[in-house]
A and B are shown apart, each in its own frame.
Chain A
């Protein structure tokens, strides 16, 4: 009654192995992407050990709620005018400069979301600081020793070494982008210091979208302190300027 096709035993064994490996990985993917449960803690470990970095993933896309605020990054620079006075530039909204690239573009260049991601990365690190530690970040730390001064002040405010490291990594990313942008934005001056600010602004609530004269809520700013421009090589600066220079109106 049962005529199975001629199938070598090793094919069957290989199939069982392949399915077992695939099944193991599927269970790992489930544990890795689902919310953490007691089961994750008890049995999930071995299944998810291999997930990072190649299978790292997160699917909280626009979830649980989509973002309802615009995230922006601002920069300004301080320089010595030819007459020797300390002068400051106006604030420039870097997010606007980048976002302009995507308007009416079906296949945009990949660079346009940098400010938003950088904003998230920095605010995440900033939130890990206590209020007094945040006050340190909002203060000015200029000059060649500014970075060390900031680190010592944060440590002095009770931050752990790892917290300080991850905060400074985020701040460096922000200020390096700002410094490189400053070189392009104000080509005629040599910035002695740059200052960054992040901002958020809510949108018109859904229920009020037809209300006449309705305004978006006021933009709220997180103004960080002045820092010395971050050192970068000529190649780095040129590589940044090559693309960013085209964005600047």
Chain B
């Protein structure tokens, strides 16, 4: 084969692989389901926890923020929702409706309808108080827009169950290839968006003297607003080496995140490290919603086969545990446990 033939051949192969990726199956179908469940849960928990504070956060009591709401870029039509001047009962009803929608999102009930409703409700709610906000809120808004075109309830949802019950054994992919194309485009957009978040925030950190010096995390821990667990952060701040390791790993894990995904071994390292980082930030700095939002989005980078393996295993473990409970027998010995893992084969690897 001549060089030119070889190049055209491999180009054609690449194009074909790309076409197949985009059109033949819905990518990250479990990951997107986890993302949907995560977003629903995060939003529901936030709304529930903030319920006692809801009027100060987004209701009549946030009148101090109205000047910024009046001058923001969002369409004026959104003013109708969560208006500061509407009666408290109406506000409460809207709030509870959004909470119910968040739960519906989590359960995957009528997701094609619920996702746009959640997006509108969420944007309308959080824009009413720009003084409450963090990167997680920006990101949830953006990713919800992408989810408009994704098949979020293809797995682990009431929708999927209902479809299975009505048409057992049939392909679950509704809307045919256009649905698949849109879903995969959404997956691409979400992945790109999270890459931008990680790489950009790392690139901006690189420019800072405290990040270079390796003491940035120490300063964050000293602030009133992030002193959620002052005892723990004071203890962590004692060791200069620990602070430097935390500071540098925060930068490098974010900076290299997209490319660490390229290979299985490094992907596992990247996902474990970044999840650990988010949990640390969430717990120690009181930024749990932000952290959970990031973790939910990172879920799309875990392959479907991994989700299937894990869920099969968990399901079997649960069944066996129940069976043992019922029969009242003691746990099986080491020998049968060793045998058990040999037979663990992913269902549709």
> Are chains A and B touching in the complex at the 8 Å CB cutoff?
yes
- A residues in contact (CB < 8 Å) with B: 2, 4-5, 7-8, 11-12, 14-15, 18-19, 21-22, 25-26, 29-30, 33-34, 52-72, 95-96, 99, 102-114, 116-118, 121, 169-170, 172-174, 176-177, 180, 203-204, 206, 209-210, 232-233, 235-244, 246
Please tell me if B280 contacts chain A, counting CB pairs below 8 Å: no
Q: Quick check: B60 and A238 within 8 Å, CB to CB?
A: yes
Sort A-B residue pairs by CB-CB distance and give the 8 closest, nearest first: A239-B61, A239-B55, A64-B208, A63-B204, A239-B60, A240-B61, A203-B222, A243-B56
Closest partner residue, chain A, to B55 (CB atom): A239
Task: Provide the main secondary structure of the chain B interface.
Answer: helix
Contacts of B309 in A (CB 8 A): none
* In the bound complex, CA of A96 to CA of B224 (Å): 8
B75 to chain A, nearest CB (A): 8
- Cβ proximity bits B59-87 to A, threshold 8 Å, 1 near / 0 not: 11111110110011110000000001101
A-B contact pairs, 13 of them (CB 8 A): A33-B196, A53-B73, A67-B220, A106-B282, A114-B131, A114-B132, A172-B64, A173-B68, A173-B131, A204-B222, A206-B218, A239-B59, A243-B53
Please tell me if B228 contacts chain A, counting CB pairs below 8 Å: yes
Q: Which of B151-159, B177-185, B314-322 contacts A (4 or more CB under 8 A)?
A: B177-185
Residue from the list A12, A113, A241 in contact with B19, Cβ < 8 A: A12
- B residues in contact (CB < 8 Å) with A: 12, 16, 19-20, 22-24, 45-46, 49-50, 52-57, 59-65, 67-68, 71-74, 84-85, 87-88, 123, 129-135, 138-139, 141-142, 145, 177-178, 181-182, 185, 188-189, 192-193, 196-197, 200-201, 204-211, 213, 215-220, 222-225, 227-230, 237-238, 240, 243, 282-283, 286, 288-289
Q: Quick check: A64 and B207 within 8 Å, CB to CB?
A: yes
Closest partner residue, chain B, to A18 (CB atom): B185
Contacts of B196 in A (CB 8 A): 29-30, 33, 59
Q: Quick check: A103 and B228 within 8 Å, CB to CB?
A: yes
Q: Quick check: A57 and B142 within 8 Å, CB to CB?
A: yes
Closest partner residue, chain B, to A21 (CB atom): B185
Assuming the contacts A61-B201, A63-B211, A111-B57, asked whether A209 and B178 have C-beta atoms less than 8 A apart, the reply is no
Q: Quick check: B53 and A110 within 8 Å, CB to CB?
A: yes
B138 to chain A, nearest CB (A): 5
A214 to chain B, nearest CB (A): 12
Contacts of B181 in A (CB 8 A): 11, 14-15, 18
B278 to chain A, nearest CB (A): 12
Contacts of A62 in B (CB 8 A): 201, 205, 216, 220
* In the bound complex, CA of A54 to CA of B211 (Å): 31
Closest partner residue, chain A, to B70 (CB atom): A169
* In the bound complex, CA of A104 to CA of B45 (Å): 17
* In the bound complex, CA of A238 to CA of B182 (Å): 47
Residue from the list A29, A63, A111, A170 in contact with B192, Cβ < 8 A: A29
B69 to chain A, nearest CB (A): 11
Assuming the contacts A54-B142, A55-B142, asked whether A117 and B19 have C-beta atoms less than 8 A apart, the reply is no
* In the bound complex, CA of A85 to CA of B27 (Å): 74
* In the bound complex, CA of A241 to CA of B62 (Å): 11
Assuming the contacts A15-B23, A169-B67, asked whether A63 and B52 have C-beta atoms less than 8 A apart, the reply is no
Q: Quick check: A29 and B193 within 8 Å, CB to CB?
A: yes
B46 to chain A, nearest CB (A): 6
Q: Quick check: B64 and A15 within 8 Å, CB to CB?
A: no
Residue from the list A21, A66, A233 in contact with B219, Cβ < 8 A: A66
Contacts of A56 in B (CB 8 A): 73, 138
Q: Which of A65, A114, A246 has the most CB of B within 10 A?
A: A65
* In the bound complex, CA of A8 to CA of B134 (Å): 44
A212 to chain B, nearest CB (A): 14
Contacts of B88 in A (CB 8 A): 235, 239
* In the bound complex, CA of A205 to CA of B217 (Å): 12
Assuming the contacts A103-B227, A111-B132, asked whether A238 and B65 have C-beta atoms less than 8 A apart, the reply is no
Closest partner residue, chain B, to A165 (CB atom): B71
Q: Quick check: A26 and B192 within 8 Å, CB to CB?
A: yes
Q: Quick check: B204 and A64 within 8 Å, CB to CB?
A: yes
A181 to chain B, nearest CB (A): 10
Residue from the list A7, A54, A110 in contact with B23, Cβ < 8 A: A7
